[in-house]
Amino acid sequence: MTNSRFSYALLAPVAVVSLSACGINSVPAAQETVNAKWADVQSQYQRRADLVPNLVAVVKGYAKQEQDTLTNVTEARARATSVQVSANDLQDPQKMAAFQSAQNELGQSLGRLLVSVEAYPDLKSNENFLALQSQLEGTENRIAVARRDYNEAVRDYNTRIRTFPEMIGAKLVHGAKPMTPFEATTAGADEAPKVDFGG
C-alpha cells in the first residue's frame, strides 16, 4: 500500500509536466493571442471605415465632378463593414477571403479617390482634408502592423498544433484546427493606398 502511494506520488509530477508539455495550456493561450490580434486587425479596419465618411464629405465640397468616385468609395465602405469575421471564423479560409477581398476593394477605392484629389489644389491645402489625410496614412500603417502581428500569432498557433509534443493536447484535448492567416488577395493589396498630395 505504501509503495503504491509512493509510486502515485512520483507519477503525479511527471504527469503534470507531461500534460503541460502536450499543449494543454499553451494551445489555448496561443489561440487567445490569435483572437486578440484579430481584434486588433478589425479595430484598425473599423478606424479606416470611420474615416471614410469624413473624407468623402470634405472631398464632395470641392470635387463635384468626382461623384462616381465618391459613390464607389461609399459603396466599398458599406461592403467592407458588412463582411464580419469573428474569432470563430478564423479557421474558415472562405470567410477570411471574403473579408480580405472587401477590405482590399475599399483600399483600392480610397486610392482612386486620393489620386483624383490631385486636380484640386484648394482641397489639397484644406485643413480638414490634411488632418484626414494624416489620419488615413496612420491608419493604413496601423493596419499593416496589425495584420503582421496577427499573422505572426497565427504562425505560432499553427506551429504549436502541428509539432510534437503540443500536437497531442491540441488534437486530443482541444480539437485544434489551423487558423487562416491574412493574405493579399489582389495584386498590390498588401500595400497601403498611395497618399501623396505633392504638398
pLDDT digits 0-9 by tens, 77-117: 999 999 999 999 999 999 999 999 999 999 999 999 888 88
> Is residue 186 scored above 70 in pLDDT?
no
Q: What grid cell was written down for 79?
A: 461592403
Which pLDDT belongs to residue 138? 94
Of 44 and 20, which is predicted with more confidence? Answer: 44
Contact 197, 118 (CB under 8 A): yes
pTM value is 0.77
In angstroms, the CA 20 to CA 29 distance is: 12
Contact 33, 156 (CB under 8 A): yes
Least confident of 16-30, 45-59, 68-82: 16-30
Closest CA to 113 of 186, 52, 50, 47: 52
